[in-house]
Chain A
Amino acid sequence: KAGVTQTPRYLIKTRGQQVTLSCSPISGHRSVSWYQQTPGQGLQFLFEYFSETQRNKGNFPGRFSGRQFSNSRSEMNVSTLELGDSALYLCASSLRVAGVYNEQFFGPGTRLTVL
C-alpha cells in the first residue's frame, strides 16, 4: 500500500509570496491533517479535513488555509509569507472512524524556507 506523499519536498520563497503544498493520503483514508514542525515549537496542529470539510483548526493566523478534494487529496496554502513560516510542513492521513482521532500516518514533509 502506498504511503502518504507530499509535493514538493523542498521550497524556497521570499517574504510576501504565497505557497501551495500538496498531500495525497493513503488509499482509503479520508482524514488529512496538517502540522507545522519547527525546532523550538515541535509539531503543531494546523487543521484537519475530512470528507472535504475542515473539522478542526489549530491556533494559526488566517494566512494559513487548506482544502480537500473529493479524492481526499489535500492542499495547504500560506499567503504573505513571513520569515517565521520557515518550517517542515507535515501531512498525515488516518481512517478517522466514527469521528475518533486514531493513529495517523505521516508523509515525508515539505521543507519550506522563507528568505
Chain B
Amino acid sequence: EDQVTQSPEALRLQEGESSSLNCSYTVSGLRGLFWYRQDPGKGPEFLFTLYSAGEEKEKERLKATLTKKESFLHITAPKPEDSATYLCAVSRGNTPLVFGKGTRLSVIA
C-alpha cells in the first residue's frame, strides 16, 4: 500500500528563518510527486511536480527536491504570507494520488 508521511506536523518559524519540510514515501514505481499549498478553508493550490530522483524545482522562496525515498520543500527567508499547510502527494501513474497529512507552517513577523 502506498504511504506518504510528512514531517514535522507543525512548524513555527521567524520571518527570514529558512527551513525544510519533509515528505517520505513508500510507493512502488513512483510516476510523480506533487506539492500543494493549502490555506485555511480553501482548496489546495498546486505548486510542483517532481518525476525523478535528483530533480529540483523552484518558485519564489520555495524549492522542491526529490530522492528515491523522500522529497524536501525548502523555504528560504520565509514571510508571514508563506503561512499555510503544505501537502505532498504521490502517484504510480495509473492509481489515484495518495496524500500525506501535511505540515502546518506558521511564519511569525
Contact = CB atoms under 8 A, between A and B. Distances in A.
Contacts of A109: 41-43
Contact of A104 (B41, B46, B100, B101): B46
Nearest to B32: A102
Contacts, number: 61
B41 A43 contact: no
A51 interface: no
B53 to A, nearest CB: 18
Tell me whether chain B's interface is mostly helix, strand or loop, or mixed.
Answer: loop
B99 interface: yes
Given A42-B100, A43-B87, A56-B95, A105 B41 contact: no
Most chain A CB within 10 A, of B32, B43, B87, B91, is at B43
Interface residues of A, number: 25
B108 to A, nearest CB: 23
Interface in A58-79: 58
Contact of A42 (B43, B96, B99): B99
Contacts of A33: 96-97
Interface in B49-107: 49, 87, 89, 91, 93-102
Contacts of B31: 100-101
Interface in A22-57: 33, 35, 42-43, 45, 48, 56
A58 B96 contact: yes
B100 to A, nearest CB: 7
B43 A106 contact: yes
Interface in B16-45: 31-32, 34, 36, 41-45
B49 A45 contact: no
A20 B43 CA distance: 19
27 contacts: A33-B97, A42-B100, A43-B44, A45-B96, A45-B98, A56-B95, A56-B96, A58-B96, A92-B43, A99-B93, A99-B94, A100-B31, A101-B94, A101-B95, A101-B96, A101-B97, A102-B32, A102-B49, A103-B32, A103-B46, A103-B49, A104-B34, A106-B45, A107-B43, A108-B42, A108-B43, A111-B41
